[in-house]
Each structure stands twice: as C-alpha cells, then as structure tokens.
C-alpha cells in the first residue's frame, strides 16, 4: 500500500512540474496555489459553460457570489463542527500608528506579523452552495428551488498534488425541496454526470464516497454517509492512473441545511437539499492528463464538445 502511495505521490509531483514547465500552471511558491495561462483559463471557461449547459433544460436560477461568506453563514452551516481543519477566516489590520510601525518592523525582520490583524465579519467560501442556503432562508415554493452557482472556494489542504488546490472553482447545481423530489433529482444526476465525463473522453467511473470529516466522531459520520450512499463521486485519472481523483461530487444533505438555515417546504417541514459539484480545475487537468499537453492535438470529437 505504502509503495502504491509513494508511486502516486511521485506521479503527482511529476505531473505538476510538467504543467508548470508547459506554462499551463504558474507556480506561486505556495503548495496548492497556482496561476493559469490564457489557454488553461480558456479550457476552464469552456468546461464551466458545459456545466451550465448540462443543467439548462431544467431552467435553474443563476446566482453568483464572491468567494467570501459571512461568519454567521459558516456558523449556521455546521462547517466548523465537521471541517474546522479546512476553514479559512479573513482577518484585517485594525491597529494605530504604533501598531503599524510594529507591523512593518516584523515584516522587515521576517517575523510573524499576523498578531495585529483582527477578525473581520467574513470567512472564505468553502463550497459554492453555502451562500445559496443562506439566501433561501424561509419557505420554498411548492416545486422547491433549483440554483446554478459557481464560485472560487478555499480549503486549507496544501498538497503537492496539482489537483488538490487550496483555492479552486466549483460549479454546482443545487436543489432544495421535499425529500422525494431531492432523492429523485440526486439519482437523476448520476447518469447526467457520467455522460458529461464520457463526452469529454475521460476514463471515469462512479464510486460511493464520504467527506473528510474532522476527528474520531467524523469517522462515524463518514461511515454513515457511505452506508446511506449520500455522497457519490465521479472519479477520473488525473496525475495518477492508479489513484483517480473526484472530478464531480453528488451530495445529498438530507434536511441538514434545511434545519440549520431555516428553509422549509410549503407544508412547514425542513427542506431537503442536494448538490452536484463540478471541480473546474480538476476537470481541465483531467483533460490535459487524458488527451495530452498540446490542446491543438486533442481528438476532434472532444474539441467539438468544448467548441474548440
């Protein structure tokens, strides 16, 4: 097992270095934080439009939020209970002139300068769907709501794997309604998501998955999530053929967000919710991994799908 993991780690580092050498990724010196060149950004944009198109027949409402949410939103979401190790909070300097001089001195001396920074009322968005629940507090219409949302997200999980980023784009279709509607919707997206990956020529498959919940209690939560098949993932090889990576996640939250954000169905019961999240950089990386670094040489039918 250790040997396989070592081999996968070496493959990931090699793939990352090659992406940087090709100019597609621009290294920043921080693990899991990259800039992108014009072509890679164009590929991400094309994938993003495909995700929009995939849900268009259902006429979702479109919402876009900046990559920060209120402290109140993350507190209500339960993220701090389940994933404190990924969370990022925004702090800002609030000192006087003396504190400012001390700040500059510490920067010059290469000391930690963050002590003079006080908490603000925003935190970094951990998943694109969170601000949607916050915005939809109240009673849903009879047919529920369906939202198309895309945002940069932050998760503190520094890694050498170019597919495990600290800041990445997630495009989601989010459904809110009664339990039956949500279960049907969640199940219906499995075929759609598999079709999406197969149209892009990716060697993808669906697996039952769980979230990386914090701590020992988190292991129980993860086991129960797997038993109930609440999280499915479409995985595809990116850096390593032997260890495929999740490119799309289909998450069923039952009435968790309905309860925590005070969202009810027309009959007054807590709403159920589900979301399908597409990792845009991961899908773009899977395309380069599968079809090669020269985008102009990708198979014609793949170029057709992406409008290249």
Q: Which of residues 163-182 bind Zn ion (CB under 5 A)?
A: 172
Q: Which of 184, 199, 179, 195 minimizes the C-alpha distance to 253?
A: 179
Rule CB under 6 A: choose which of 165, 197, 200, 238 binds ligand ATP. 165
239 touches ligand ATP (CB under 6 A): no
DSSP state of 43: H
C-alpha to C-alpha distance for 90 and 118, rounded to whole angstroms? 9
φ, ψ dihedrals at 96, nearest 5°: -95, -170
Candidate residues 129, 149, 176, 193; the one interacting with ligand ATP per rule CB under 6 A: 129
Site string for ligand ATP, 251-280 (x = CB under 6 A): x-----------------------x-x-x-
CB atoms within 10 A of CB 114: 10
| Number of chain residues interacting with ligand ATP (CB under 6 A) | 21
Show the binding pattern over residues 208-237: x = contacts Zn ion (CB under 5 A), - = does not: ------------------------------
HSE of 268, CA atoms in CB hemisphere, 13 A: 0
* Integer angstrom CA distances of residue 178 from 108, 130, 257: 57, 19, 13
Draw the binding track, 59-78, toward ligand ATP (x: CB under 6 A; -: no contact).
Answer: --------------------
Q: Regarding beta strands 231-236 and 68-70, do their DSSP bridges make them parallel or antiparallel, or are they unpaired?
A: unpaired
Query: Looking at 67-75, 143-151, 247-255, 289-297, which segment touches ligand ATP (CB under 6 A)?
Result: 247-255
Q: Helix, strand or coil for residue 62?
A: strand
Smallest distance from the beta carbon of 273 to ligand ATP, in angstroms?
8
Backbone φ and ψ of 37, nearest 5°: -85, 175
Q: Site residues (CB under 5 A) for Zn ion?
A: 127, 129, 172, 275, 277
Q: Site residues (CB under 6 A) for ligand ATP?
A: 127, 129, 155, 157, 163-165, 168, 170, 172, 211, 246-249, 251, 275, 277, 279, 281-282
């Amino acid at each position: 097992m250790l040997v396989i993991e070592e081999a996968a780690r070496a493959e990931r580092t090699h793939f990352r270095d090659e992406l940087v050498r090709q100019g597609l990724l621009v290294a920043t010196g921080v693990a899991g934080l990259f800039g992108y060149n014009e072509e890679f950004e164009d590929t991400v944009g094309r994938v993003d439009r495909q995700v929009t198109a995939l849900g268009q027949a259902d006429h979702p409402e479109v919402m876009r939020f900046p990559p920060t949410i209120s402290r109140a939103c993350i507190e209500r979401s339960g993220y701090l209970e389940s994933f404190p190790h990924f969370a990022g909070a925004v702090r800002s300097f609030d000192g006087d002139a003396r504190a400012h001089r001390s700040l500059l001195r510490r920067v010059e001396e290469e000391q930690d300068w963050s002590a003079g920074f006080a908490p603000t009322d925003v935190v970094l968005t951990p998943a694109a769907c969170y601000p949607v629940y916050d915005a939809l507090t109240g009673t849903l219409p009879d047919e529920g709501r369906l939202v198309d949302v895309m945002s940069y997200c932050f998760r503190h999980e520094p890694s050498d794997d170019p597919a495990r980023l600290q800041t990445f784009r997630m495009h989601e279709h989010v459904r809110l309604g009664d339990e039956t509607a949500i279960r049907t919707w969640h199940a219906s997206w499995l075929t759609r998501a598999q079709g999406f990956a197969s149209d892009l020529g990716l060697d993808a498959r669906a697996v039952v998955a769980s979230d990386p919940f914090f701590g020992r209690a988190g292991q129980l939560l993860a086991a129960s999530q797997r038993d109930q098949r609440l999280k499915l993932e479409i995985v595809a090889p990116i850096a390593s053929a032997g260890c495929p990576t999740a490119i799309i996640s289909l998450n069923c939250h039952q009435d968790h967000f309905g309860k925590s954000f005070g969202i009810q169905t027309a009959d007054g019961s807590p709403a159920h919710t589900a979301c399908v999240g597409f990792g845009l950089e991961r899908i773009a990386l899977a395309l380069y991994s599968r079809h090669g670094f020269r985008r102009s040489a990708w198979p014609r039918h793949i170029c057709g799908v992406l409008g290249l």
